Amino acid sequence: MSDLSDLYQEVILDHSKNPRNKRAMENATRKAEGYNPLCGDRFTVYLRVEDGIVRDISFEGSGCAISTASASLMTEDLKGKPVEMAHDVFDRFHKLLTGDNSVNETAPEVGMGKLAVFGGVRRFPVRVKCATLPWHTMETAMQGEEERVSTE
């Protein structure tokens, strides 16, 4: 199992040092800011959603290795996915980190791809907020457009 932990650590280190999709997005349809005062992580998440699909997702800001890697891996995972599926991934990611797998008989990390690396964060409650911050911010951004759309 220690080899597996090393691999997990490697993925987190890689994404924190070379974050993917870390840029502002000029043609974003939705955007939200998130802040974790416990650690000082602060991110803006940009989304371009068209026809219910996440066409593009990016982020800006700064935070610790865990939050930066989480934001980076989130953008990689959600790009091209339908909005509904993005909510679903968020749900599963949250369960993976909080250790609540009561609704799922299989281990929560199954089918999570690279996001499974955050399963180890569960053991460090203080870090859970770091890992989930980009996701909560993404959810807030998603909700923003739903409101806008309903007025059209």
Minimum distance from residue 26 beta carbon to Zn ion (Å): 28
Q: Which is nearer to Zn ion, 21 or 67 (CB)?
A: 67
* Residue 78, helix vs strand vs coil: helix
Lay out the sheet containing 53-62: strands in order across.
Answer: 30-36, 41-50, 53-62
- Smaller CB separation from Zn ion, 64 or 85: 64
Secondary structure class of 12 (helix, strand, coil): helix
CB of 17 to Zn ion, least distance (A): 15
Please identify, using beta-carbon distances, which residue of 17 and 148 lies nearer to Zn ion. Answer: 17
Catalog residues that contact Zn ion under the rule CB under 5 A: 39, 41, 64, 67, 130
Least distance in angstroms from the C-beta of 10 to Zn ion: 19
The helix (H) or strand (E) run that includes residue 66 is helix 65-78
